[in-house]
Amino acid sequence: MTDKEALRVSKIENGTVIDHISAGQALNVLAILGIDGFGEDVVSIGMNVPSDRLGRKDVVKVEGRELSQSELDVLSLIAPAATINIIRDFDVVDKHRVERPESVTGVLRCPNHNCITTEAEPVDSEFDVVSDGVRCEYCGTIIREDIAAHILV
């Protein structure tokens, strides 16, 4: 971490730092975490922070909370280079990269209105992660761009 960044977003005592987010994706990361500004979460956001590895990056720090596996799975789709840092008593006690899952269940809405997963009957959506996006298991529709816009809330 550079001194410049230290001045931008201060360290946290406990929680999760999502670092090396693709620049421009911070608000989508908040959406994935269900953070809309009306909850109790204490959140710090850095956007377009200079980064050696990425040129520019976004950073999201969520205090007092760790992420679920399904949150991490969707995160990996929009921020494949993200690093998850678990912070306890100001120390980084765990650091790992997000991993691209084989599939994601119940987190994305199929854009096909005739798809069984979008009808009244509750069928969990399931998308396979493919090279050019994610593909609906039920109707084959592929979401290639702006995956974040299809996140179920």
Q: Is the CB of 17 or the CB of 110 nearer to ligand CTP?
A: 17
Q: Is the CB of 44 or the CB of 112 nearer to ligand CTP?
A: 44
Query: Is residue 87 a contact point for ligand CTP (CB under 6 A)?
Result: yes
**Cβ(9)–Cβ(51) under 8 Å?**
no
Query: Is residue 117 a contact point for ligand CTP (CB under 6 A)?
Result: no
Query: Is residue 93 a contact point for ligand CTP (CB under 6 A)?
Result: no
Alpha-carbon separation of residue 65 from 10, 13, 107, 127 (angstroms): 17, 11, 20, 27
- The interface with ligand CTP within residues 21-80 (CB under 6 A) comprises 59, 61
Contacts of 151 (CB under 8 A, 6+ apart): 28, 31, 32, 74, 107, 108, 109
Cα distance between residue 4 and residue 121, in whole Å:
52
Q: Is the CB of 83 or the CB of 117 nearer to ligand CTP?
A: 83
Q: Is the CB of 49 or the CB of 108 nearer to ligand CTP?
A: 49
| Length, in residues, of the chain | 153
List residues near ligand CTP by CB under 6 A: 1, 11-12, 17, 19, 59, 61, 83, 85, 87, 90, 92, 95
